[in-house]
Structure 1
Amino acid sequence: MSAALFEPYTLRSLTIPNRVWMAPMCQYSAEVSGSDAGVANDWHFAHYASRATGGTGLILVEATAVTPEGRISPHDLGLWNDTQTEGLRRIAGFLKQHGTVPGIQLGHAGRKASTERPWEGRGPVAPGGPGWQPVGPSPVPFADGHPAPTELTAEGIQEIVARFADAARRALDAGFEVVEVHGAHGYLIGEFLSPHSNHRTDAYGGSFENRTRFALEVVDAVRAVWPEDLPVFFRISATDWLGEAGWTADETVRFARLLREHGVDLLDVSSGGNGGPADIPVGPNYQVPFAARVKAETDMPVAAVGLITETGQAEKILANGEADAILLGRELLRDASWPRRAARELGATIGAPAPYAWAI
Structure 2
Amino acid sequence: MSKLFSTFKIGPLELANRIIIAPMCQYSAEQGSATDWHLIHLGSLALSGAGLLILEATAVSPEARISPADLGLYSDENEQALARVLQAVRQHSDMPIGIQLGHAGRKASCAAPWDGGAQVAADAGGWTTEAPSAVPYAETDRPPVALDDAGLARVREAFAQTARRAARLGLDMVEVHAAHGYLLHQFLSPLSNQRTDQYGGSLENRMRFPLEVFDAVRAAFPADKPVGVRISATDWVEGGWDLAQSVAFSRALAARGSAYVHVSSGGLSAQQKIDVGPGYQLPFAQEIKRHVEVPVIGVGMITTPEQAETAIRDGSADLVALARGILYDPRWPWHAAATLGAQVEAPRQYWRSQPAAYKNLFATGK
The two structures share one fold, judged by TM-score above 0.5:
yes
Residue 14 (structure 1) aligns with: 13
Q: Identify the residue that residue 25 of structure 2 maps to in structure 1.
A: 26
| 1:288 maps to amino acid | L
In the alignment, the residues of structure 1 paired with residue 224 and residue 352 of structure 2 have an alpha-carbon distance, to the nearest angstrom, of 36
1:238 aligns with 2:233: yes
Aligned position for 1:152? 147
Alignment correspondent of 2:241: 247
Structure 2 residue ranges without an equivalent (≥5): 355-366
TM-score, normalised relative to structure 2: 0.94
What SS does the corresponding residue of 1:145 show, helix, strand or coil?
coil
- Is contact 1:179-1:231 (8 Å) kept? yes
State the alpha-carbon separation in 2 of the partners of residues 94 and 304 from structure 1. 30
Q: 2:174 is matched by which residue type in structure 1? A: V
Question: Separation in 2 of the partners of 1:350 and 1:197?
Answer: 44
Write the distance in 2 (CA, Å) between the matches of 1:55 and 1:328: 13
Asked if 2 retains the 8 angstrom alpha-carbon contact of 1:19 and 1:325, the reply is: yes
Q: Deviations over 1:172-205 (max 9, x none)?
A: 1112101000000110000000010000001111
- Output the amino acid matched with 1:41: T
- Residues in 2 aligned to 1:13 and 1:179: alpha-carbon distance in whole angstroms: 13
Instruction: Find out whether 1:46 has 2:45 as its counterpart.
Output: no
CA contact under 8 A between 1:95 and 1:101: conserved in structure 2?
Answer: no
Map of 1:115-130 to 2, 5 A cutoff? 115-130=110-125
Matches within 5 A, 1:230-309: 230-243=225-238, 245-309=239-303
Matched residue, 1:327:
321
Q: Does 1:3 align with 2:2?
A: yes
1:83 deviation in Å? 1.5
Aligned mates of 2:173, 2:35 — CA distance in 1: 21
Task: Report if aligned partners of 1:26, 1:62 keep a CA contact under 8 Å in 2.
Answer: yes
State the distance in 2 between where 1:147 and 1:191 align.
Answer: 16
Letter paired with 1:103:
G
* Amino acid paired to 1:74: P
Question: What residue identity is the alignment partner of 1:65?
Answer: A
Q: In the TM superposition, what is the alpha-carbon distance from 1:358 to its structure 2 partner? A: 3.5
Asked if 2 retains the 8 angstrom alpha-carbon contact of 1:57 and 1:99, the reply is no
Paired residue for 1:201? Answer: 196
Partner of 2:133: 138
CA distance in 2, matches of 1:341, 1:320: 22
CA-to-aligned-CA distance 1:106-139 (integer Å, 9 cap, x gap): 0000000000111111111012442101010000
Distance in 2, Cα, partners of 1:331 & 1:162: 35
Aligned to 1:316: 310
Q: TM-score, normalised by structure 1?
A: 0.96
Quick one: distance in 2 between partners of 1:351 and 1:250? 39
**2:96 aligns with one of 101, 104, 125:** 101
Deviation at 1:84, TM superposition (A): 1.0
Gaps of 5+ in 1: 32-36
Report how many aligned residue pairs link the two structures: 353
Percent identity between the two aligned chains: 49
